[in-house]
Amino acid sequence: MIVIYPGSFDPVTYGHLDIIERCSKKFDQVIVSILNNPTKKTLFSVDERIKLLKEVVKDLKNVEIDTFSGLLVNYAKTRGISTVIRGLRAVTDFEYELQMALMNRELDNELETIFLMSSSQYTFLSSSMVKEVAGFDGDISGLVPDYVEKAINYKLKGD
Ligand code: ADP
């Protein structure tokens, strides 16, 4: 089975990576796809996010990095894939994720969303938390791969 794991990945964290690794073991192929949403302000450009993701998944041979804009259902259809993966951290994720999964199913009855529970050590982890902590000079080494940590520090402080 081939699955799409869509998201902003601004930037990729150990929480995302954990989901990607688990998908890579369970499914034949995983397409991690970055949503290109020009109205959402991001720290990293789409090209930068692609570069970061490619680097951190380079050892996972069945993982591909792609981007899409517009509706996920249209993208999935174009790629001929009908299964989407999303991660769930806590009940706070649930309401939004449920709404989105049901809307996607309304738009395309063939599209199925599979939820993977976050690993307990990453339940608190989000890209926005990482950016906030890094912005206040906090230690993010346990939250993102080294390569991503360097990119964040360079982006925020130029070093
Ligand atoms: P989006 O803007 O689409 O929510 P994100 O990059 O924030 O994009 O998240 C992409 C997906 O990864 C979402 O399904 C989100 O719930 C999941 N995710 C984010 N952080 C974690 C984490 N720490 N553990 C498990 N899943 C996560």
Selected catalytic residue, list 16, 49, 86, 131: 16
Question: Is residue 35 included in any domain, yes or no?
Answer: yes
Question: Is residue 51 included in any domain, yes or no?
Answer: yes
Average pLDDT score over the chain: 96
CATH label of the domain that carries residue 81: 3.40.50.620
pLDDT higher than 80, residue 159: no
Q: How far apart are the CA of 5 and the centre of ligand 1, in A?
A: 9
Reported confidence tier of residue 19, pLDDT bands at 50, 70, 90? very high
Active site residue 40: yes
Question: Is residue 156 included in any domain, yes or no?
Answer: no
Distance, CA of 50 to CA of 73 (rounded, Å) = 21
Atom of ligand 1 nearest to the CA of 86: 14
Question: What pLDDT shows up at residue 90?
Answer: 86
Which range of residues forms the domain containing residue 47?
Answer: 2-123
Question: Is residue 155 included in any domain, yes or no?
Answer: no
Backbone CA torsion sign across 131, 145, 30, 112 = negative
What confidence tens digit (pLDDT) does each residue in 105-123 have?
Answer: 999 999 999 999 999 999 9
**Dihedral (Cα; 96, 60, 33, 98), 10-degree rounding:** -20
Question: Is residue 94 included in any domain, yes or no?
Answer: yes
Question: Is residue 19 included in any domain, yes or no?
Answer: yes
Question: CB under 6 Å to ligand 1: residues?
Answer: 7-9, 13, 15-16, 19, 86-87, 89, 93, 118, 122, 125-127
Question: Is residue 61 included in any domain, yes or no?
Answer: yes
Active site residue 89: yes
Counted domains in the chain? 1
What confidence tens digit (pLDDT) does each residue in 41-77 have?
Answer: 999 999 999 999 999 999 999 999 999 999 999 999 9
Question: Is residue 144 included in any domain, yes or no?
Answer: no
